[in-house]
């Protein structure tokens, strides 16, 4: 399934519908659980901000990926650094991040997400991603 970047869509987790919206940016730094980290020299972070909202009737743990890969224009494949996950009760919303560290000379082409409950692809070919030096 192809998912448009920035648009609201619904997936089913544990039998319950969850509304999701995914945005992306490129950054030289990102706040991880242990604090701010700069990307390695000649690299940058590709950061996906994931907003989820439970529109179902039960508590749901949303794990978007067992495996995620970013394909870049030079044919390289990068795996995720973080594992986005959140628990949502009905009507609750949350935000988490999926972060990849990619060479600063490449352009991300697509990301493939393979999770427990879903598999989807986001095509980044036509996207102009914002570049930030600090992520809020």
- Provide the domain count of the chain: 1
**Which range of residues forms the domain containing residue 31?**
9-129
Are 62 and 85 in contact by the 8 Å Cβ rule? The answer is yes
Q: Please list the pLDDT of the chain residue by residue as tens digits (136 residues).
A: 888 888 999 988 889 999 999 999 899 887 776 778 889 999 999 999 999 999 999 999 988 767 889 999 999 999 998 888 889 999 999 999 999 999 999 999 999 988 766 788 999 987 777 665 444 4
In a domain, 135, yes or no: no
Q: Is residue 79 a contact partner of residue 67, using CB atoms and an 8 Å limit? A: yes
- The answer to whether position 1 is within a domain reads no
CATH number at residue 84: 2.60.40.1240
Q: What is the pLDDT of residue 87?
A: 94
Q: Is residue 4 part of a domain?
A: no
At residue 131, the pLDDT reads 63
Alpha-carbon distance values, 105 to 41, 44, 77, 115 (Å): 12, 9, 14, 29
Q: Is residue 121 situated within a structural domain?
A: yes
Residues 6+ apart with CB under 8 A from 32: 82, 99
In this structure, is residue 3 part of a structural domain? no
């Amino acid at each position: 399934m192809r998912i448009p970047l920035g648009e609201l869509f619904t997936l089913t987790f544990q039998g319950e519908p969850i509304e999701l919206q995914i945005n992306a940016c490129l950054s030289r730094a990102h706040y991880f659980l242990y604090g701010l980290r700069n990307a390695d020299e000649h690299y940058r972070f590709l950061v996906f901000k994931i907003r989820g909202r439970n529109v179902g009737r039960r508590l749901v743990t949303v794990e978007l990926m067992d495996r995620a890969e970013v394909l870049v224009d030079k044919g390289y494949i990068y795996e995720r650094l973080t594992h986005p996950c959140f628990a949502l009760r009905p009507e609750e919303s949350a935000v988490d991040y999926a972060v990849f560290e990619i060479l600063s000379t490449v352009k991300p082409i697509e990301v493939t997400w393979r999770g427990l409950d879903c598999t989807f692809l986001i095509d980044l070919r036509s996207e102009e991603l914002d570049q930030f030096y600090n992520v809020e």
